[in-house]
Structure 1
Amino acid sequence: MDVVTAKVALTIAQQAAKHWKKIVLIVLSFFMVMVIGVMLLVGGDSGNSGTAKVNDAVLAWEPVVRQFAEEYGIPEYVGVILAIMMVETGGSGLDIMQSSESLGLPPNTITDPVLSIDVGVRHLASVIENARSNELDFWTPVQSYNFGSGFNNYVRNNGKQYTFDLASNFSKNQANGRTVKYSNPIADFNGNFRYAYGNMYYVLLVQQYLTPGASGDIGNADASALGPEAYQMLMNEVLKYNGWAYAWGGSSPSTSFDCSGLMQYAFRQLGYDLPRTAAEQHAHSIPVADPQPGDLVFFKGTNPSRPASSITHVGIYIDEQRMYDASNSGIGYSNWNQGYWRQHFAGFGRVVK
């Protein structure tokens, strides 16, 4: 038996003795998978309720994830951990969180999913603890799960707030500028490449599997041009209507909202006098090239009955990936920088009194 095999075997034995309760949980988890399968056969798609928009194979591990997250002091990251699992393996691998490398082992050395979750959550908890001690934001340690804890230090020395640009620059430095092609829709906005160190899109990949509010994250409130308190008030207001149906012409809670109606109503609660339509709001706001949370993001050509150049949709800018808006899909978070919305992107605007 070589040293690596012996190390893994010893670790598995130790974990089995220490965490027998989790072994019971995993049996229950597989039972959940069977129940979900029956539900799908009898009643159709069960959906992905819970803390993250993940598939059933990942969702079945939620009790185990929750147990370890509580044990290691990061229960607020349960949804994020499930999303990480979705990004890493989609629930199909034995090293289900791809956590072997955090032990200094080759990829996929761990062959016990429970051990993989234990090691992965423990590793995430360690970078979160370091981030908290350095007063970093919610997302930096998630990127550090992929990059390693050195990214925490990099962010600490560059503003203490995760941004995609910081992740990109860190990866570029580590890779000495070497790039590789990255054919993933998440990278459409950036030319479909990445630097050859880790994955600089990791936070964006995780975020796409999170339901609104799963992380409690609304972007960097401190950076908002509205001011952190006003921005928090703005988001508190619009989040009241998360999941509500879109209503053409709607502009109040009694009717639900369309896109510009939601903007007008929410900003009015802060004392801002926004005009009614997306086009009028675009003309009223100050164009900005470097948007911050609480700015508006505008789109054109989404209404076939109007000229293609007309501003026809608006949302609240959250970060490099997300906006909060009212669309035909309902009220909630959307990805503004890829797919349909990217094709119709028209610019950013800052609301002023």
Structure 2
Amino acid sequence: MRGFFALVARMALFFATLKARIILFASLIIVGLATIFIVGVFQALVGSSDSTPEGEFDFASGGTQNLAPEVEELRPLFEKYADLHGIPDHVDLLMAKTMQESGGRLADVMQASESLGLPPNTIRDQEESIDVGTRYFAQVLEQANGDEKLALQAYNFGHGFIDYANEHNNGEYSKELAIDFSREQYQRVKDTGNYSCIRPESAETGACYGDIGYVDAVMSYMQPTLADGEFEEVIEVGAQWIGNSEYVFGGGRTRAEQEQGLFDCSSFVHWAYEQVGIELGHFTSVSTDTLKHKGQAVPVNEIQPGDLVFFDTYKLDGHVGIYVGDGQYIGAQSSTGVAIESMEDGFWGDVFNGRVRRI
């Protein structure tokens, strides 16, 4: 009988321990799910921008000074093979291409295997990938008569795109031409099941062959620069909209809206720089979050006219404008449209966060 009671006691202890473990496990699951939910809500709140969503596969939007460390470490190899293949002035462009292709995180960093007629990622050595990819880009650049954008898109589509451009657009690149080519090619190959729409605009246009946003994506990693005096032009062209524009959240992302002076803060900044030949990404997807990575960071005590300045409004870096000097900036504000405002006092002085980027 004594053994029976001992067995009962051990069983009671076992089930009590099991119950405690189950309760602990359930508690951990509940805490984990709650954490995931809170993080998701936080990201949704601070991750929104004052425009349309950004493109995919964006490792480090901005100029070449923001290359991933994995790519920057390969600069000597890019310099070596750019010189070997006769395009020494295109090192930064080759590295920007690599950011878009792999971010430096694959053995075939330039995704060059297919240029040899091999399956993707057949090349297993980074130096070989740079050698092959640079040689191929040099070839398409020559076929494109030095048109960098045409050569970039041909690197993605294949050199047949250059023939298409020669036939349909006097040998010049345009985004519309890339869409037309992609749409036509996709109709020929869609039944193979090897192609899919990798961007929302691809699905909307039926242009699902290759990447119609490839040029914009690569160029977003290039460091734009302003020549002497050009910052004054940026300010001057922007000033034409003072008292003659309207703030529209998400506006300024069609040419028709731009012609009417319908902007939000980031589209206005993009438009002003575009007028002097500086591309800050594609105008349809510009946002404060893309602009805050452009150019290079500058201490606020070294600010100069033409620099981008940022403000914490409905979120961190929720507003952007262009510094004009004397503690003032020009930007598209919801209350005024395009106007010049003080950064040193009043509302904008209170929300200026000290972030300055020099293009």
> Normalising to structure 1: TM-score of the pair?
0.51
Cα separation, partners in 2 of 1:112 and 1:153, compared to 1, 3 Å: same
Which residue identity lines up with residue 137 of structure 1 in the other structure?
A: D
Corresponding residue number in structure 1 for 2:217: 205
Q: How many Å separate the matches in 2 of 1:97 and 1:288?
A: 31
Corresponding residue number in structure 1 for 2:271: 315
Q: How many Å separate the matches in 1 of 2:307 and 2:91?
A: 21
Q: How many Å separate the matches in 2 of 1:104 and 1:169?
A: 25
The CA deviation at 1:148 is 0.9
**Quick check: 1:108 aligned with 2:72?**
no
Cα separation, partners in 2 of 1:180 and 1:160, compared to 1, 3 Å: same
The CA deviation at 1:91 is 0.6
Which residue identity lines up with residue 71 of structure 1 in the other structure?
A: L
Which residue identity lines up with residue 56 of structure 1 in the other structure?
A: P
Q: Deviations over 1:204-244 (max 9, x none)?
A: 1111212214xxxxxxxxxxxxxxxxxxxxx7566x44xxx
The CA deviation at 1:137 is 2.5
Q: Deviations over 1:230-260 (max 9, x none)?
A: xxxxx7566x44xxxxxxxxxxx6xxxxxxx
The CA deviation at 1:199 is 1.2
Q: Deviations over 1:99-138 (max 9, x none)?
A: 0111111111111110000000000000011111xxx632
Work out which structure has the larger RCO, using CA pairs closer than 8 Å and 6 or more positions apart in sequence.
Answer: 2
Which residue identity lines up with residue 265 of structure 1 in the other structure?
A: E
Q: How many Å separate the matches in 2 of 1:105 and 1:54?
A: 28
Where does 1:1-353 land on structure 2 (aligned, <5 Å)? 51=64, 53-132=66-145, 137-157=147-167, 158-176=169-187, 178=190, 180-182=196-198, 187=199, 195-213=207-225, 236=227, 240-241=230-231, 263=234, 265=236, 275=240, 277=242, 279-280=243-244, 298-300=261-263, 302=265, 315-316=271-272, 317=274, 321-322=282-283, 329=292, 331=306
Q: How many Å separate the matches in 2 of 1:100 and 1:152?
A: 20
Q: How many Å separate the matches in 2 of 1:72 and 1:131?
A: 16
Report SS of the residue matched to 1:94: coil
Larger radius of gyration: 2
Given that 2:63 and 2:220 are in contact with CA atoms closer than 8 Å, whether structure 1 keeps it comes out as no
Q: How many Å separate the matches in 2 of 1:298 and 1:190?
A: 28
Given that 1:100 and 1:107 are in contact with CA atoms closer than 8 Å, whether structure 2 keeps it comes out as yes
5+ residue gaps, structure 1, are 1-46, 214-234, 242-252, 254-261, 268-273, 304-310, 334-339, 347-353
Report SS of the residue matched to 2:104: coil
5+ residue gaps, structure 2, are 1-59, 247-251, 295-305, 309-317, 320-331, 335-359
Q: How many Å separate the matches in 2 of 1:297 and 1:124?
A: 40
Q: Deviations over 1:26-51 (max 9, x none)?
A: xxxxxxxxxxxxxxxxxxxxx99984
The CA deviation at 1:195 is 2.9
Given that 2:78 and 2:130 are in contact with CA atoms closer than 8 Å, whether structure 1 keeps it comes out as yes
Cα separation, partners in 2 of 1:94 and 1:161, compared to 1, 3 Å: same
The CA deviation at 1:76 is 2.3
Which residue identity lines up with residue 280 of structure 1 in the other structure?
A: N
Cα separation, partners in 2 of 1:49 and 1:164, compared to 1, 3 Å: closer
Q: How many Å separate the matches in 2 of 1:313 and 1:51?
A: 20
Cα separation, partners in 2 of 1:332 and 1:84, compared to 1, 3 Å: farther
Which residue identity lines up with residue 321 of structure 1 in the other structure?
A: H
Which residue identity lines up with residue 114 of structure 2 in the other structure?
A: E
Given that 2:81 and 2:131 are in contact with CA atoms closer than 8 Å, whether structure 1 keeps it comes out as yes
Which residue identity lines up with residue 162 of structure 1 in the other structure?
A: Y
Report SS of the residue matched to 2:196: strand
RMSD between superposed Cα atoms in Å: 4.5
Q: How many Å separate the matches in 1 of 2:269 and 2:211?
A: 32
Given that 2:109 and 2:129 are in contact with CA atoms closer than 8 Å, whether structure 1 keeps it comes out as yes
> Normalising to structure 2: TM-score of the pair?
0.51
Given that 1:194 and 1:200 are in contact with CA atoms closer than 8 Å, whether structure 2 keeps it comes out as no
Given that 1:131 and 1:141 are in contact with CA atoms closer than 8 Å, whether structure 2 keeps it comes out as yes
